[in-house]
Amino acid sequence: MHRRSRVLGLAFLMLFSLSTPVKVDDPTLGLDKAIVRSVQVEVDSWPMAGANPERTSWTPEEVRGNLHPLWFKPFEPYISQKVQ
């Protein structure tokens, strides 16, 4: 019971801290603007299904080098009897 109340309290504090705005220019916080900027996530770098809102799976990143699979497993085609 005591552990559960700790977990719930911690979860509440985490959710509350996410909803509380922090003013970067406040000198009492002691935050360096460069550190705060490096923590902020850019919208374009956020992963999403299909790589973009149109779900085209296209990304500007390139993978370079001599790549080869370490292992693979062939799958036999299968259609269930319950599917038309």
For the stretch 50-58, contacts whose Cβ atoms lie closer than 8 Å and that sit 24 or more positions apart, written own/partner, are none
Task: Give the per-residue pLDDT at 11.
Answer: 76
**Other Cβ atoms within 10 Å of 51 Cβ, number:** 14
pTM above 0.85, yes or no: no
Distance in angstroms (rounded) separating the CA atoms of residues 51 and 49: 5
Question: Is the pLDDT assigned to residue 83 strictly greater than 70?
Answer: yes
CA distances to 40, 44, 54, 55 from 59, rounded to whole Å, are 21, 10, 12, 10
The pLDDT tens digits for 29-82 are 565 555 555 555 565 667 778 877 888 888 888 888 998 999 999 999 888 888
pLDDT higher at 4 or 75: 75
> Contact at 8 Å (CB) between 51 and 61?
no
Task: Give the per-residue pLDDT at 70.
Answer: 94
